[in-house]
Amino acid sequence: MEGYDDWKHIVEAIERHETSKEHLHSCFVHRQWQLHGTLNEEQESIIKREKNFWRQVLTRLLDVTLTLSTCNLAFRGHKETVYGNDSCPKGNFLSIVELLAKYDPILQELLSKPKGQSKYLSPKIQNELISVLVQKVENALVNEIVTAPFYSILFDTTQDISKTDQLCELYRYCVIEKNENGTPKALVIKESFLGFHEVKDQTALAMSKQIIKSINDKKRLSNLAILSIENSMARNLNFDDVINTFAEQKVRRKEFK
């Protein structure tokens, strides 16, 4: 197979190729493969079974990742392999996978694969699974925030154990709960934490830029940099009554009557 470098005449070359005997024959063969297939049923069955197996493996590994994340538990330990003796602690992720493998044939088959084959259990894969779930959770929170009729943006700084200043990004917003008929029944206040950001310059200008950048980095939240209130909803609410109820009852939920 030879390359092509005559880019000045690429259009003419493509037109010649599209009408060439070789191209037409390849298109015919491809169409026949789409209609009738070229693999025998046994090979197709193997491919489907393999695809289904790895899909089930990833589903289980995502469930383990979600469980550990929800419980704020560490993933890794001193030993990051399923081979060898068990004297050295493996960490929560691998330990749970091994425990589930005792009762689950999919994970049992995964761990029985010989050393050197893919298992999707490495620290790199664990971090990728965490990143996937983080993105999903963040997208869900952002969708809830941008559809809220009222919201506020809260930023504050705190220091971690290494004395590094971090900017905490928090959103407080209202969610209108509706019944099965679509009628508003409750106003619920929620708070969502969307991350820490390292602060390198504590001047007012630098902090303002960091806050705006943090908001704009989440594309769907960029319009929250400008305060807006849905007028139709605002006219139908007695804010004094709602605020007083929250203050007196120390609750984050107000039923509509």
20-48 residues labelled b (16+ CB within 10 A) or e (exposed): eeeeeeeeeeeeeeeeeeeeeeeeeeeee
Token pair, residue 95, equals: 């330990």
**What pLDDT is attached to residue 240?**
58
Q: What is the torsion angle, in degrees rounded to the nearest 10, for the CA atoms of residue 130, residue 135, residue 137 and residue 140?
A: -170
Comparing 35-39, 203-207, 208-212, the range with the smallest average pLDDT is: 35-39
Q: Is 133 exposed, middle or buried (0-12, 13-18, 19+ CB in 10 A)?
A: middle
- Mean pLDDT in residue range 232-251: 56
How does the average pLDDT of the chain come out, rounded?
76
Question: Ramachandran region of residue 250, left (φ > 0), alpha (ψ -120 to 50) or beta?
Answer: left
Q: Is 187 exposed, middle or buried (0-12, 13-18, 19+ CB in 10 A)?
A: buried
**What pLDDT is attached to residue 105?**
92
Condensed to tens digits (0 to 9), the pLDDT of residues 10-27 reads: 778 788 888 888 888 888
- If you average pLDDT over each of 56-60, 116-120, 131-135, 246-250, which comes out highest? 56-60
Handedness of CA 245, 247, 248, 253 (dihedral sign): positive
Residue of higher predicted confidence among 39 and 177: 177
Please report, for residues 188, 242, 244, the alpha-carbon distance to residue 251 in angstroms, rounded to integers and kept in the order given. Answer: 9, 11, 11
Please report, for residues 14, 27, 29, 51, 240, the alpha-carbon distance to residue 36 in angstroms, rounded to integers and kept in the order given. Answer: 29, 14, 10, 21, 71
Residue of higher predicted confidence among 257 and 93: 93
Q: Supply the DSSP string of 187-222, one letter for each residue.
A: EEEEEEEEEEEE-S--SHHHHHHHHHHHHHHSGGGG
- Mean pLDDT in residue range 204-233: 62
Token pair, residue 207, equals: 């902090």
**What pLDDT is attached to residue 79?**
66
The full set of domain ranges for the chain reads: 9-36, 46-130, 147-255
**Distance, CA of 204 to chain centre:** 33
- Mean pLDDT in residue range 28-57: 79
